[in-house]
Amino acid sequence: MTDKTQPGCDEKLPVLKAGLQRMKTAAVAFSGGVDSAFLLAVAAASALERLVAVTVDSAFVTREEILRAGQIAQNLGVEHQVLTADILKDKKVIENLPERCYHCKTAVFTLIKDAADRAKIAHVLHGVNTDDLADFRPGMKAAGELGFEAPLLDAGFSKREIRICSKQIGLATWDLPSQSCLATRIPFGTVITKQALHRIEQAEIFIKSLGIAHVRVRCHGRLARIETDDMSMVSMMQMRQQISGGLKEVGFSFVSLDMDGYRTGKMNPAKK
């Protein structure tokens, strides 16, 4: 049942569905996050002639995300393809300059586009929303160059509206914390290594196992700088010795808690 008090859903869902139905065939770049899960669910309900969810597995993606993407696609009854990108072989990516995301998305989205072309699928989609326009997102340029379409953006969906509508249609991802690739935990200018990515992933797994759902472990060499939401800071301080010990076991020498908390794009270049 639709909640008439909530903005966006009644007006924008029909627009989104109509746009998807006109496509007939589509491949969705599918991370299993809030946005792509909502896009895939609406596409699945729009009776396309063929719909495929395509997830690209790389060193920048956690095992948890790959498993979640597969489970969501299965629950929605959508064909799911998992492609592999050896992203650490790309020197323009691992040197980790501010355009890293552009080079990474070019490689990842090229794989998806090629897979769609082989399957004679006419449209390739990604889950960009209106909030993304205000952030530093070099990857959007790569998507545009490769012909990816953004139905959520075209229909005017904000992140908040996506969460509201996801809850209304019964998606478990409606309150999933925002995702970002593991490379975003490493400051620009610091070379990305497999060892650092593994250390970050293991650190976040450990902290989440303690009941802290929303966490980023920023890697400054051997220093771990933890970002979380305001409510979780209290819990983390109460478990500080346990957290410090756990992160040192995975390879960090120093562990800190960022008093400013979590904010999207904190590692992005400062605006002049």
Residue by residue, pLDDT tens for the chain (272 residues) are 344 444 568 889 999 999 999 999 999 999 999 999 999 999 999 999 999 999 999 999 999 999 999 999 999 999 999 999 999 999 999 999 999 999 999 999 999 999 999 999 999 999 999 999 887 788 899 999 999 999 999 999 999 999 999 999 999 999 999 889 999 999 999 999 999 999 999 999 999 999 999 999 999 999 999 999 999 999 999 999 999 999 999 999 999 999 999 877 666 665 44
Q: Which two tokens stand for residue 169?
A: 């249609």
Residue whose structure tokens are 């489970």: 71
Q: What is the spatial distance between Cα 210 and Cα 27, in angstroms, rounded to a whole number?
A: 37
For the chain, domains (ranges, CATH) are 9-175 (3.40.50.620), 182-257 (3.30.70.2210)
Q: Which two tokens stand for residue 36?
A: 């792509």
Residue type present at position 43: A
Predicted pLDDT at 7: 52
- Count other C-beta atoms under 10 Å from residue 148's C-beta: 23
- Residue 129: exposed, middle, or buried by beta-carbon count in 10 A (0-12, 13-18, 19+)? buried
Predicted pLDDT at 272: 40
Predicted pLDDT at 5: 42
pLDDT digits (tens, 9 = 90+) for 218-230: 999 999 999 999 9
Residue type present at position 237: M
Predicted pLDDT at 54: 98
pLDDT digits (tens, 9 = 90+) for 20-43: 999 999 999 999 999 999 999 999
